[in-house]
Amino acid sequence: MIRELIISFDYHSGKTVKKLRKLESEKEETNDEETANKLKKEIDFLQRDYESKLKPVALEIAFNIDSQMEKMSADEIFQKFQVKDVNSKMIGDCVYKICQKLERPPSHKVVLEIMPEKFRPD
């Protein structure tokens, strides 16, 4: 299910990602400060839009992981993931690692800001 969410998000955000890449390339190539500032504002707007669309996907992944963990014993979790002493505070980092598979991976900070407090590491 998580894989399908990532694939679907990448598909639906493809135009935004392409536009961001194009604008970032233009910004790198320009020497005009006014044009660079205009491009930066447009990039920032599109990036915020991308992150707002990512939020429900990241939350769905987090709650899906949490739900799966609740059904598993500590031994089962260790056998499947080779991790001991698992708790919900680790989920934010798991979601971050999963989101790194996106065509445009978000920063660790962005992912943790999306997560509810119970999924954020201390």
pLDDT at 9: 94
- Model pTM score: 0.84
DSSP H helices in the chain? 2-12, 14-29, 33-70, 74-81, 91-99, 108-114
- CA atoms of 119 and 55, how far apart (whole Å): 14
CB 54 within 8 A of CB 77: no
- Count of domains for the chain: 1
Domain span including residue 107: 2-119
CA-based angle 89:91:96, to the nearest 5?
125
pLDDT at 54: 96
The whole-angstrom distance between residue 2's C-alpha and the CA centroid of its chain comes to 12
- pLDDT tens, position by position, 40-97: 999 999 999 999 999 999 999 999 999 988 898 888 888 877 778 888 889 999 999 9
Q: Please enumerate in sequence order all residues whose Cβ is within 8 A of that of 52, keeping only pairs 6 or more positions apart, or say none.
A: none
